[in-house]
Amino acid sequence: MGKRVTLNDYIQLNPETGHGLKRLLKMSGDVEELDLYMEVTYKDMFGELQTMELLPNGSKIKVNNDNKYDYVDRYYQFFLTTLVDKQFKSFSRGFHNVVGGNALSLFTPEEIELILIGDDNNNQPIDVEILRSVTKYNNCKPTDRVVEWFWNYFGSLSIKGQKKLLLFVTGSDRVPATGLPSLNFKVTKLNVAAVKETGEVQRLPVAHTCFNEMCLYEYSSKEVFDQRMDMAVYCSEGFGIR
């Protein structure tokens, strides 16, 4: 959208370093004692450490109380703009080819972000009952015990756990900008013949993120169900298991 990135944008990318830069700006003592210079060290795509001067002869210019604002500004601009300039320009061209136009100017950057990646729900718990009320079911009924176990499991999770589960099922840990009622959520019960001699299903629950679909097996008990769900949600990475 042609807006200049800020320190708060960098904090989203790297909270620890970003907040450290904020503390640097608020320091009342002599910044020069920190022995910082107008340069930055980072890892390249091969994992090798590289050092880049933030301005000509920066490796010999010490950061002090007079130039600390310039240092911080150049620091986060380097990571958010300079370092990714080529890749971002390619992304920007593609983005504007698909959804570009005068309509974008009607929105703030925050509103565009909300539309693209959803709402973080102000870090509040997901209203499981609302999601449950709009969910569609396949090969099962809302009253089936494995379905009840799923909703009880969802409701018992911490905020972080709920985000992990939402990410597992939908590919995003955020709710739609238009709210949970607009989320096309689906629960399917799977049939499986591969069980142990004890009759216990060994397979983990699976998700089809393209369809926001949670697929469950008929486990022997809620304890087993919770164990399988924990393993599926917390040990998953991309399209596989860690």
E strand or H helix that includes residue 51: strand 49-53
Handedness of CA 218, 219, 225, 231 (dihedral sign): negative
Rounded-to-integer distance, Cα 194 and Cα 167, Å: 28
Respond yes or no: is residue 210 known to be catalytic.
Answer: yes
Rounded-to-integer distance, Cα 25 and Cα 41, Å: 20
241 contacts 165 by C-beta, under 8 angstroms:
no
| Alpha-carbon dihedral angle through residues 206, 208, 214, 215, given to the nearest 10 degrees | -50
Secondary structure of 11-25 as H, E, C letters: HHHCHHHHHHHHHHH
Please tell me which residue in 140, 210, 215, 235 is annotated as part of the active site: 210
DSSP symbol at 106? G
Q: How many CB atoms neighbour CB 61 within 10 A? A: 18
Assigned token pair, 3: 């807006």
Assigned token pair, 225: 């169900």
Provide CB contacts within 8 A for 55, sequence distance 6+.
38, 61, 74
DSSP symbol at 54? S
Rounded-to-integer distance, Cα 81 and Cα 88, Å: 8
Q: Active-site residues: which are they?
A: 210
